[in-house]
């Protein structure tokens, strides 16, 4: 980040700007651009519909297992058959 900031030609960036607020905005833009270049953001793609279906499926499996465990006990075969993924 230091090399990026030191390579910037600051006088030419600020010559046409008169207000402090505009200078601050330009400075923030330069900082954000430098951070975006140095710290690459990893893109993650996911489908929200898939997660909802998976959540519901897992919830139903967990509820079946809990019901079987409560009704039949821990050592009964139905609790091992209804194990979650």
Q: How many CA atoms lie within 13 A of 75 on its CB side?
A: 0
Return the domain boundaries, the chain.
2-38, 48-81
Is the pLDDT assigned to residue 80 strictly greater than 60?
no
Among the residue ranges 8-12, 19-23, 78-82, the one predicted with the least confidence is 78-82
Q: Alpha-carbon distance 16 to 67, whole Å?
A: 72
Please write the tens of the pLDDT for every residue from 26-50. Answer: 889 988 888 887 777 777 676 666 6
Q: Supply the pTM of this predicted model.
A: 0.43
């Amino acid at each position: 980040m230091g090399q990026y900031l030191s390579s910037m030609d600051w006088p030419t960036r600020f010559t046409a700007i008169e207000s402090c607020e505009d200078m601050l905005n330009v400075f923030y833009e330069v900082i954000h651009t430098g951070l975006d270049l140095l710290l690459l953001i990893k893109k993650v793609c996911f489908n929200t519909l898939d997660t909802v279906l998976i959540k519901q499926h897992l919830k139903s499996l967990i509820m079946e297992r809990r019901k079987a465990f409560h009704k039949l006990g821990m050592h009964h075969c139905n609790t091992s058959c209804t194990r979650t993924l």
